Structure 1
Amino acid sequence: MSRSLTTSSQMPSRHKVPGGTYFFTLRLRDPHATLLVDHVDILRSAVSLARKRWAFEIDTAMILPNRMHMIWHLPDQDADYAKRWRLIKSAFSRNLPDSVTPQSEGRANAIWQRRFWEHLIQDEGDLALHRHLAITAPISAGLAKRAGDWPFSSLYRRNRSQSAQRAARSDRDHLKPGFRPVSEVILDTADLH
């Protein structure tokens, strides 16, 4: 990892370190709810909105029916992960269908647990441990037999993307020299018009 990780002697209170790498767990109030996977597109949009407004990198993401785990890298000079989570939680809650959420208390308060758990990643071993915790969460919850099988994770999306790239390379390997895939030819002819 190219970022420098902070040692515990450098940690200010509340673990707010500009440019830090953090592991987060957020939970829904209802432990039996399935809102996060039922409305994963709304959640993705809320995360995308937060990333556009206040940049951060997602290292790992694991979305379970009633909780999520994420590892973020914050930009240098910025340690305010709380404002990002406020936006994600409120945008997700506001965009759910009316039939899903009670109107009392405010939507975000009705859906999410008030607090979330954060952990400042200390070093490469700590990062590996928390990646493992996130990636194996669907197995621990009895939702998947293998980590890569759970569709609501960065691991699944990464594996699917890598499989598509391998398939594309494999398809090109079977072509005779000088021939190109039809999709490339179509793109070239579209540029002529």
Structure 2
Amino acid sequence: MVISALIFGATIYISRFVPIKLGTVQVLYPAAILAPLFGVWFGVWGSAGLVIGNILSMVVVGMNPAIFPLALLAQFIMGFVPGIAFRKVRFEGTRDRIVFIATVTLGMMVSTVLVALNLALIQKIPGNVVWGTIWPWMQVSNTLSAAIFSPILFAWMSDYMNKSGLFFKRFLG
């Protein structure tokens, strides 16, 4: 949990300095690429670390995490869905890659809906802005980028994670 919280939180914090935002949503969100990996590698604890890392990054920049409950749940879902659905230490064939990409995509789609609901219901951003501009953009900044780059990082890093003993063989640890 500590590893995912620190790396995820630092990635969010650093990417906050990208000046282009749609509402409170960052146009560039590299943390979305790491989130599924932490869920797969560290199980439920890696997914929980995503929430803690996001809270830490919010506090550091003066944001109140209490007004982002659905967005924080979304951070957990980004790791939870791929983490519970894909419990292998490496890709063993094309089917594994397809399943991994599908679970990453599903997790990102669900999480972006939660972020959009947080923006519309709690932050009172008009629905046409949320669903017509912000949510579609999150499909590029979160879903598409994670579907492309998460499998590459997984293939590259998973043997190291497994050999180092950091990979959780069971989702609940």
For Structure 1 versus Structure 2, the TM-score category normalised by the shorter chain is 0.3 to 0.5
The structure whose residues are more often strand, as a share, is 1
